[in-house]
Amino acid sequence: YSGHGAQTRDLDGDETDGFDEALVPLDYQTAGLIIDDVVNVTVVNPLPSGTVLHAVIDACHSGTM
């Protein structure tokens, strides 16, 4: 991913700094941001145990993406 990133208030309390990192898709004004929790649930968690995922994310605030 190469595009805009953002931070948004953490609603589930899993971020020590109080903010979720987010990707800002083209349709964010109607569809919303893609927060790191959603990426984790939809992309990372379904991977089989032992799988190594390499992701390149070029966006502001993508540190924990």
* Consecutive H or E run containing 12: none
The predicted-structure confidence for 14-64, as pLDDT tens digits, reads as follows 999 999 999 999 999 999 999 999 999 999 999 999 999 999 998 887 766
User: For the purposes of burial, counting CB atoms within 10 Å of the CB of 20, is it exposed (0-12), middle (13-18) or buried (19 or more)?
Assistant: buried
Res 65: pLDDT: 66
Res 40: pLDDT: 94
Rounded to two decimals, the pTM is 0.82
- Report, as residue numbers or ranges, the catalytic residues: 4, 60
Helical segments of the chain, H only: 28-31, 36-39
